[in-house]
């Protein structure tokens, strides 16, 4: 009996993904555990392993297909001893729903699952819009997202050649048409279409529609559709600022003792035969450890808010914001209060490398109890970060710099950095936030306490 291979759910919140690449082809024999495909979500590219053994009889969803729904049929496997051709021919009826499934135009899965009591219900799948008839009498099939982008750009979707399943017009086809100018304008396709000016974005304040349209026609700017990551970031941060009462507490921390200890620890790191040190600590590694220990010492601040109860975490799982092309992702150092500085450092180097390659697993960036956002290496003196639910706190770290300070009535020069703690005031109020920052400052200015 043929075995259906369906689109896997790579995280609890995943609703759809892009089938980036097939690593097998029709006719290949596979066994359980073999990597057969790569799936792209809004945050990462994941490998899919086979569960069953057999021969790939038919690949239903081709590589490069976007917006494939979870549990949609993507391939058919012929079991051992089964006729491959028969298994492939029997896949046709099952393939239709997967091929016609419409990708969602607006919603994207959340990067971090919210507590069950406050999470929103999953949106219903978007219905497939009926396609208008093309001028030659044939129907043009296009995804809802492709139709919306075509409308915004003033392109007649029936004039675009589709590269999706069964000739379906998808997002990249519209983007290619916009950049190449190969499609007919929508206004030319039908007398009832809106004037060309409607294709241009709304005029910014102080500019007329005619002025914006003129710039649009001259190619003075381009429209770059949002990808899944950017949509997720926008959705979650808007939700955070609208639903979480933010409160901010700042403090200056002297770094001289920490910098001296860091140099001493790095100089004493064991080296391999090739002379490569076993670790190389950064200031950020020590910030992660200091925040984790501060949360251990002030457990009332290591919490998450829900409508029914306060969630008190038993460990400090510290997320660290990592900038990647198109946005950012927050891999998590689990139980950071229990780990050595060298372990934290090596984990962060691994996470940072795989984050830029979009190879992180969902469990490596979902959840956590707090986060660190460090813009000091970019020369930023101080800033306030946005709380990322379900966290109740996030620490914004500025650049360490030499400043004149007063000690025992005398002016001296010291290396100082400013940090700002953003809190969800429902869970961590001002006094508790100040207590947490005081504990953090204590570990930064007396770093030997991080080695005990």
Are 363 and 332 in contact by the 8 Å Cβ rule? The answer is no
138 catalytic per annotation: no
Q: Where are the beta strands (DSSP E) in 215-369?
A: 246-254, 303-305, 310-312, 318-320, 322-324, 327-329, 332-333
* Three-state secondary structure call for residue 328: strand
Alpha-carbon span 263 to 256, nearest angstrom: 11
C-alpha radius of gyration, the chain, whole number: 27
Give, in degrees to the nearest 5, the angle at Cα 69 between 67 and 70.
Answer: 135
Q: Where are the alpha helices (DSSP H) in 183-222?
A: 186-189, 209-217
Alpha-carbon span 415 to 418, nearest angstrom: 10
Instruction: Report the largest interatomic distance among the alpha carbons of the chain, rounded to a whole angstrom.
Output: 89
Alpha-carbon span 358 to 269, nearest angstrom: 30
Catalytic residue chosen out of the listed positions 246, 313, 315, 425: 425
Are 312 and 296 in contact by the 8 Å Cβ rule? The answer is no
Are 354 and 368 in contact by the 8 Å Cβ rule? The answer is no
CB-facing half-sphere around the CA of 28: CA atoms within 13 A = 14
Helix 341-356 vs helix 283-297: crossing angle, to nearest 10? 120
Peptide linkage before 390 cis (omega within 30 of 0) = yes
* Three-state secondary structure call for residue 4: strand
Alpha-carbon span 391 to 311, nearest angstrom: 10
Q: Is 111 exposed, middle or buried (0-12, 13-18, 19+ CB in 10 A)?
A: buried
Q: Is 256 exposed, middle or buried (0-12, 13-18, 19+ CB in 10 A)?
A: middle
Alpha-carbon span 358 to 355, nearest angstrom: 5
CB-facing half-sphere around the CA of 107: CA atoms within 13 A = 16
Q: Where are the alpha helices (DSSP H) in 218-282?
A: 228-243, 256-267
Active site residue ranges = 425
């Amino acid at each position: 009996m043929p075995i259906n291979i369906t689109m896997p759910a790579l995280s609890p919140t995943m609703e759809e993904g892009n089938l980036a690449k097939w690593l097998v082809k029709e006719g290949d024999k596979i066994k359980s555990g073999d990597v057969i495909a790569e799936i792209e979500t809004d945050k990462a590219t994941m490998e899919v392993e086979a569960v069953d053994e057999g021969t790939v009889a038919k690949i239903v969803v081709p590589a490069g297909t976007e917006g494939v729904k979870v549990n949609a049929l993507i391939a058919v496997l012929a079991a051992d001893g089964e006729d491959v051709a028969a298994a492939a021919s029997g896949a046709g009826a099952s393939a239709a729903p997967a091929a016609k499934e419409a990708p969602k135009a607006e919603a994207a899965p959340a990067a971090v699952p919210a507590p069950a009591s406050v999470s929103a219900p999953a949106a219903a799948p978007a219905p497939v819009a009926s396609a208008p008839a093309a001028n030659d009498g044939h129907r043009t099939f296009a995804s809802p997202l492709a139709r919306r982008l075509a409308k915004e750009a003033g392109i007649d979707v029936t004039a675009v050649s589709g590269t999706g399943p069964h000739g379906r017009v998808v997002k990249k086809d519209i983007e290619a048409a916009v950049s190449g100018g190969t499609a007919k304008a929508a206004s030319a396709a039908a007398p009832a279409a809106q004037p060309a000016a409607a294709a241009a974005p709304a005029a910014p304040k102080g500019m007329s529609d005619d002025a914006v349209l003129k710039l649009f026609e001259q190619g003075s700017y381009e429209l770059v559709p949002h990808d899944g990551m950017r949509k997720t970031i926008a959705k979650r941060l808007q939700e955070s600022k609208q639903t979480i009462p933010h409160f901010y507490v700042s403090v200056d921390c002297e770094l001289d003792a920490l910098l001296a200890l860091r140099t001493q620890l790095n100089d004493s790191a064991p080296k391999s035969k090739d002379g490569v040190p076993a670790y190389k600590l950064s200031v950020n590694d020590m910030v992660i450890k200091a925040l984790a220990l501060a949360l251990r010492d002030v457990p009332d601040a290591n919490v998450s808010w829900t409508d029914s109860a306060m969630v008190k975490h038993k460990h400090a799982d510290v997320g660290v914001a990592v900038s990647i092309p198109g946005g950012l992702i927050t891999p998590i150092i689990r139980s950071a209060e229990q780990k050595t500085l060298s372990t934290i450092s090596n984990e962060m180097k691994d996470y940072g490398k795989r984050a830029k390659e979009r190879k992180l697993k969902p469990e490596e960036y979902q959840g956590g109890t707090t986060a660190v956002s460090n813009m000091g290496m970019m020369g930023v003196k101080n800033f306030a970060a946005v709380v990322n639910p379900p966290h109740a706190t996030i620490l914004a770290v500025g650049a360490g710099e030499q400043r004149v300070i007063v000690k025992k009535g005398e002016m001296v020069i010291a290396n100082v950095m400013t940090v700002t703690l953003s809190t969800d005031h429902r869970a961590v109020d001002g006094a508790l936030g100040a207590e947490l920052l005081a504990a953090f400052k204590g570990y930064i200015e007396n770093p030997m306490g991080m080695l005990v």
